[in-house]
């Protein structure tokens, strides 16, 4: 019986245009350089459906016929489309289990309970850190504020050579890797 390892899960959260996608890209790149097998999940929180170009194709026709989930694979790339009232982060993470990932970066899903990095574009966004659970670090775009009594690390956005290795090491240590 094969033992399925549990991947590290790290959330990247913040408001729109705070740099979440760019930060996830940087974390993925560094993790892959370290030899880790990486997955990502993004919450499309801007309203509407993500754009797709399969109109008229088989998977589109399958959905039009009533399929709840459709998939297509070609040369190792898989696109899965799910039409459901709501697919929870827990369900998505379970779908990733068979792939033997070391780490999954989750962009969004602010209210989930996983360790998270909070991106703050402006000082007005500071309240977000107090509203969220399991904050490991804050990365801010502004310089004019001190954070003396917080329980997590605070970095400026330009300090990626500091925060990327520090955060990855912290998360892996907490996960026993």
Residue 15 lies in a domain: yes
The answer to whether position 39 is within a domain reads yes
pTM of the model: 0.85
Q: Do the domain assignments include residue 125?
A: yes
Q: What is the pLDDT along the chain (177 residues), one digit of tens a residue?
A: 555 678 999 999 999 999 999 999 999 999 999 888 899 998 865 455 544 566 767 777 777 887 778 877 777 777 788 887 788 899 999 999 888 889 999 999 999 999 999 999 998 998 898 899 999 999 999 887 777 677 888 999 999 999 999 988 887 787 676
Give domain status of residue 110, yes or no. yes
25 falls within a domain = yes
Residue 34 domain-assigned (yes or no): yes
Whether residue 75 is contained in a domain is answered as no
CATH for 136: 3.40.50.300
Are 156 and 19 spatial neighbours (Cβ–Cβ below 8 Å)?
A: no
Domain that holds residue 42: 8-46+86-174
First to last CA, the chain: 22
Domain count, the chain: 1
């Amino acid at each position: 019986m094969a033992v399925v390892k549990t991947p590290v899960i790290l959330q990247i959260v913040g408001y729109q245009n705070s740099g979440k996608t760019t930060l996830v890209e940087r974390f993925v790149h560094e993790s892959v350089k370290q030899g880790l097998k990486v997955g990502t999940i993004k919450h499309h929180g801007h309203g509407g459906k993500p754009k797709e170009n399969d109109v008229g194709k088989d998977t589109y026709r399958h959905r039009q016929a009533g399929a709840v989930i459709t998939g297509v694979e070609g040369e190792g790339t898989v696109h899965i489309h799910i039409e459901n009232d709501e697919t929870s982060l827990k369900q998505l993470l379970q779908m990733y289990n068979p792939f033997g990932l070391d780490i999954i970066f989750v962009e969004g899903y602010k209210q989930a309970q996983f360790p998270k990095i909070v991106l703050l574009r402006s000082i007005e966004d500071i309240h977000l850190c107090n509203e969220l659970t399991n904050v490991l670090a804050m990365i801010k775009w502004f310089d004019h504020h001190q954070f003396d009594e917080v329980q997590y690390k605070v970095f400026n956005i330009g300090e990626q050579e500091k925060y990327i290795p520090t955060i990855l090491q912290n998360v892996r240590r907490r996960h026993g890797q």
